[in-house]
Amino acid sequence: MLASVGLSYSIRIELNEHQKRLFELRSLLTKIFWEMNYSMRPVELVLLYQIETQDEDLRNILKEIGECLMKKEAKCGEDVWREIFQKHRKELRLKPEESELIEQAGNAFFGKSVEENQKVLSLYQEKLDFLIEVERRERREKQKVYQTVCIMSGLVLVILLI
Which pLDDT value is given to residue 11? 61
Which pLDDT value is given to residue 3? 55
The answer to whether 107 and 79 have CB atoms below 8 angstroms apart is: no
Q: Where along the chain do its domains lie? A: 2-161
For residue 6, report the phi and psi dihedrals to the nearest 5 degrees: -60, -40
For residue 73, report the phi and psi dihedrals to the nearest 5 degrees: -75, 175
The answer to whether 50 and 39 have CB atoms below 8 angstroms apart is: yes
The answer to whether 28 and 109 have CB atoms below 8 angstroms apart is: no
For residue 71, report the phi and psi dihedrals to the nearest 5 degrees: -70, -20
CA 82 to CA 151: how far, in whole Å?
Answer: 42
Taking CA 34 as the corner, what is the angle to CA 22 and CA 23, rounded to the nearest 5 degrees?
10
Handedness of CA 120, 50, 133, 97 (dihedral sign): positive
The answer to whether 3 and 149 have CB atoms below 8 angstroms apart is: no
CA 101 to CA 82: how far, in whole Å?
Answer: 10
Q: Which helix (H) or strand (E) holds 82?
A: helix 77-87
Which pLDDT value is given to residue 5? 54
Count of other CB atoms within 10 angstroms of residue 8: 19
Q: What is the mean pLDDT of each run of 10 residues along the chain (162 residues)?
A: 57 71 84 82 77 82 86 78 87 85 83 84 88 83 73 75 74
State how far the alpha carbon of 115 is from the alpha carbons of 10, 27, 125, in Å. Answer: 44, 19, 15
